[in-house]
């Protein structure tokens, strides 16, 4: 299943930068997102889901330099869900951004404290009125020839 032009907001749960054997740099990011729902008794509850994205070359350098685990981020791009069979025979599912996603900073709400860092977008976090990238963040121009696929 694919969802084009999707925006996801959450906390960076895991981030890893690698240099591949061909010299290309890649930063993989896992974003933890909170979804508000109801339990069987009708009470509010929060469920977390995780979305991953890969950033290449100059964009990889940008992400590695300016983001860290726990940072609030907005990722935009084409989202898809991949289903697979695990080694134990059970079914698994992974949600990823495909192609060339973009990433932007979002400030943490100063009153939410540690609650946001642990639970995605729940708590007192609210996105700013405009989700345009901040002007002091350099824009990255990725040359399509640098992408390995």
Contacts of 127 (CB under 8 A, 6+ apart): 9, 74, 106
Residue 28 confidence class, pLDDT cut points 50, 70, 90 = very high
**What secondary structure letter does DSSP report for 145?**
G
Q: Residue 143 falls within a domain, yes or no?
A: no
Q: Residue 19 falls within a domain, yes or no?
A: yes
When pLDDT is averaged across residues 92-102 and rounded to a whole number, the result is: 90
Whether 144 shows a pLDDT value over 70: the answer reads: no
Domain of residue 22, residue span: 2-126
- Looking up residue 48, the CATH number of its domain turns out to be 2.40.50.140
Q: Residue 131 falls within a domain, yes or no?
A: no
Tell me the pLDDT of the chain averaged across its residues: 78
Q: Residue 33 falls within a domain, yes or no?
A: yes
Q: Cα–Cα distance between 22 and 63 in angstroms, integer?
A: 20
* Domain count along the chain: 1
Q: Residue 107 falls within a domain, yes or no?
A: yes
Q: Residue 115 falls within a domain, yes or no?
A: yes
Q: Residue 134 falls within a domain, yes or no?
A: no
Nearest CA among 65, 64, 79 for reference residue 29: 64
When pLDDT is averaged across residues 120-132 and rounded to a whole number, the result is: 41
Whether 113 shows a pLDDT value over 80: the answer reads: no
Q: Residue 61 falls within a domain, yes or no?
A: yes
Question: pLDDT tens-digit profile of 34-87?
Answer: 888 888 888 888 888 899 999 999 999 999 999 999 999 999 999 988 898 999
pLDDT at 106: 83
Whether 126 shows a pLDDT value over 60: the answer reads: no
């Amino acid at each position: 299943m694919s969802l084009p032009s999707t925006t996801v907001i959450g906390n960076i749960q895991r981030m890893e930068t690698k240099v591949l054997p061909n010299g290309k740099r890649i930063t993989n990011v896992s974003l933890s997102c909170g979804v508000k729902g109801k339990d069987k008794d009708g009470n509010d509850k929060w469920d977390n889901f995780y979305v991953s994205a890969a950033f290449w070359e100059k964009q990889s350098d940008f992400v590695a330099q300016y983001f860290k685990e726990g940072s609030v981020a907005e990722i935009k791009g084409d989202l898809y869900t991949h289903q697979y069979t695990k080694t134990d025979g059970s079914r698994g599912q992974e949600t990823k951004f495909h192609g060339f996603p973009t990433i932007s900073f979002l400030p943490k709400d100063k009153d939410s404290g540690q609650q946001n860092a642990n639970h995605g977008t729940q708590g007192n976090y609210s996105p700013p009125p405009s989700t345009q990238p901040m002007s002091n963040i350099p824009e990255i121009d990725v040359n399509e020839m640098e992408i390995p696929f």
